[in-house]
């Protein structure tokens, strides 16, 4: 039997028996969503005295806090973003554009996991033949991998209760529906309800779960966004069209560091690990070119060398353009203002374009100093000195501020053959690092002296 549905306003929470374009309570438009009716509160509720029975308050020190059990997925780069392997009973959401490689990554991981535990791949998008064909073409060890093509969550969970997989992939959450709701698969209420049932199953049975979510045009609405608070770990696929590089980034992780990056390359044999990612983000020009700077960033727990490129050009517009790819636009505008006030270089009649090579997105402030160096280098049409890398945050007062893990960044730059590194004074290495000369700076004006004028 179907349970009753209600329509709940997203804005004010009012519940209506029928759908309408406008909420009768708060007057907001298009905010009613289908929801499963809640059970009425217990009519015999006898006050708080007896209400807590069954639950127990425990002292923190009494809770046994054994490290969560982790299993390798067979892909060290995926293990890295998960925080060191897949945690038993955890729910992982993997989001990304259609066609970026979510199904490929998960069939590879699940095939490897199926050698160690019962594994089930549930697909609402591809037929069993398509999946089997892909697994065979990729040469995966898939004898024990079980497949299910089904889109009704209740039926999937009934089968899962019988087959007892220890790890499941649900590809994709937008194709599944619950019989308790009448709205179409892919709608916000269906996505949310299906995910809620699956998460409950995972937590109740200790099954690990991967949920695939396409980022749709209305990403914020029907996409994986609405699920982020329900799951333990959120991973997003990043990558540029036309590039082989695929990055998997942890946006949220209850079992590891956020912003951790896993780097893969999409090949004709599936996703391959890139164990030395710095190598692919450096374009290694034959000669030094103007407008290019090497940045040592640290995404998650690993330092990474990345090239930032800037192009500064006389603007024909009254309102010159500031375009940043892979970095935050507002940050660029702020840095240009600091450069004007504290470095004495104005760019108010110049278009400024900025790009991070390789499609990687840099989210930390350590990029500030190299960004300004790249911009200034392009503006003056003068390359930066050979073998120079940089990192450091630039403050509004023109000061160069420290960032975490300075010494580790210096060592990473040295490892890749850089001979000089410009860095915040507070980040200078306590002992010299072999092969690289540290140039600590306190103020922006000092940093600009690397141009040698």
Binding site for Mg ion (CB under 5 A): 103
Closer residue to ligand TYD, CB minimum distance, 103 or 178: 103
Q: Closest Cα to residue 297, out of 287, 308, 309, 288?
A: 308
Closer residue to ligand TYD, CB minimum distance, 270 or 300: 270
Instruction: List, in order, residues 6 or more apart from 245 with CB less than 8 Å away.
Output: 239, 263, 264, 265, 266, 274, 280, 358, 359, 360
The binder of 432, among ligand TYD, Mg ion, none, by C-beta within 5 to 8 A per type, is none
Instruction: Tell which positions 135-154 bind ligand TYD, by CB under 6 A.
Output: 138
Question: Closest distance between ligand TYD and the C-beta of residue 103, in Å?
Answer: 3
Question: Closest distance between ligand TYD and the C-beta of residue 177, in Å?
Answer: 19
d(CA 272, CA 77): 9
Question: Closest distance between Mg ion and the C-beta of residue 93, in Å?
Answer: 14
Given 53, 67, 143, 268, the residue binding ligand TYD (CB under 6 A): 268
* Residue nearest Mg ion (C-beta atom): 103
Question: Closest distance between ligand TYD and the C-beta of residue 196, in Å?
Answer: 23
Question: Closest distance between ligand TYD and the C-beta of residue 107, in Å?
Answer: 8
Q: What are phi and psi of 389, to 5 degrees?
A: -120, 165
d(CA 401, CA 399): 6
Over its C-alpha atoms, the chain yields an Rg (Å, rounded) of 26
Closer residue to ligand TYD, CB minimum distance, 245 or 422: 245
Closer residue to ligand TYD, CB minimum distance, 102 or 166: 102
Inter-residue contact 233 to 61 (CB < 8 Å): no
Given 68, 159, 265, 266, the residue binding ligand TYD (CB under 6 A): 266
The binder of 100, among ligand TYD, Mg ion, none, by C-beta within 5 to 8 A per type, is ligand TYD
Instruction: Tell which positions 72-111 bind ligand TYD, by CB under 6 A.
Output: 96, 98-104
Q: Closest Cα to residue 325, out of 381, 373, 371?
A: 371
Closer residue to Mg ion, CB minimum distance, 214 or 302: 214
Question: Closest distance between ligand TYD and the C-beta of residue 142, in Å?
Answer: 13
Given 70, 116, 134, 341, the residue binding ligand TYD (CB under 6 A): 134
# chain residues binding ligand TYD, by CB under 6 A: 14
Q: Closest Cα to residue 269, out of 94, 372, 135?
A: 135
Closer residue to ligand TYD, CB minimum distance, 102 or 201: 102
Closer residue to ligand TYD, CB minimum distance, 125 or 407: 125
Q: Which chain residues interact with ligand TYD by CB under 6 A?
A: 96, 98-104, 134, 138, 266, 268-270
């Amino acid at each position: 039997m179907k349970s009753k549905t209600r329509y709940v306003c997203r804005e004010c929470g009012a519940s209506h028996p029928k759908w309408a374009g406008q909420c009768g309570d708060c007057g907001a438009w298009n905010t009613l969503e289908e929801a499963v009716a809640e059970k009425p509160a217990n009519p015999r509720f006898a006050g708080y005295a007896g209400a807590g029975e069954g639950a127990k308050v425990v002292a923190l020190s009494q809770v046994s806090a054994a490290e969560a059990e982790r299993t390798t997925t067979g892909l060290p780069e995926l293990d890295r973003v998960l925080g060191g392997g897949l945690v038993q009973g955890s729910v992982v959401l993997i989001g990304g554009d259609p066609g970026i490689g979510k199904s490929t990554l998960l069939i590879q991981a699940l095939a490897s996991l199926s050698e160690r535990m019962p594994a089930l791949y549930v697909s609402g998008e591809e037929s069993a033949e398509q999946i089997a064909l892909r697994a065979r073409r990729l040469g995966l060890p898939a004898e024990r991998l079980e497949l299910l093509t089904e889109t009704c969550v209740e039926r999937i969970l009934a089968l899962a209760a019988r087959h007892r997989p220890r790890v499941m992939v649900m590809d994709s959450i937008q194709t599944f529906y619950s019989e308790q709701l009448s709205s179409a698969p892919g709608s916000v209420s269906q996505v949310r309800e299906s995910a809620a049932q699956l998460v409950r199953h995972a937590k109740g049975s200790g099954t690990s779960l991967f949920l695939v979510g396409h980022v749709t045009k209305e990403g914020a609405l029907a996409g994986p966004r609405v699920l982020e608070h329900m799951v333990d770990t959120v991973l997003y696929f990043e990558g540029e069209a036309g590039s082989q590089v695929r990055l998997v980034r942890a946006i949220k992780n209850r079992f590891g560091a956020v912003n951790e990056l896993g780097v893969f390359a999409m090949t004709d044999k599936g996703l391959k690990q890139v164990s030395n990612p710095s190598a692919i983000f450096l374009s290694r020009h034959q000669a030094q070119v103007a407008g290019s700077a090497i940045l040592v960033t640290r995404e998650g727990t690993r330092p990474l060398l990345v090239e930032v490129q800037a192009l500064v050009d006389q603007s024909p517009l009254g309102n010159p353009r500031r375009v940043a790819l892979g970095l935050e636009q507002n940050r660029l505008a702020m840095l240009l203002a600091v450069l004007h006030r504290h470095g004495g270089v104005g760019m108010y009649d110049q278009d400024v374009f900025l790009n991070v090579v390789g499609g990687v997105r840099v989210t930390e402030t350590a990029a500030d100093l190299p960004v300004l160096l790249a911009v200034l280098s392009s503006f003056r049409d003068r390359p930066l000195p050979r073998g120079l890398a940089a990192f450091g945050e630039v403050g509004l007062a023109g000061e160069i501020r420290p960032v975490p893990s300075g010494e580790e960044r210096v060592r990473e730059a040295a490892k890749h053959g850089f001979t000089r590194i410009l860095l915040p004074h507070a980040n200078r290495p306590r002992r010299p690092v072999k092969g690289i000369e540290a140039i600590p700076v306190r103020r922006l004006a000092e940093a600009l002296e690397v141009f040698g004028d």
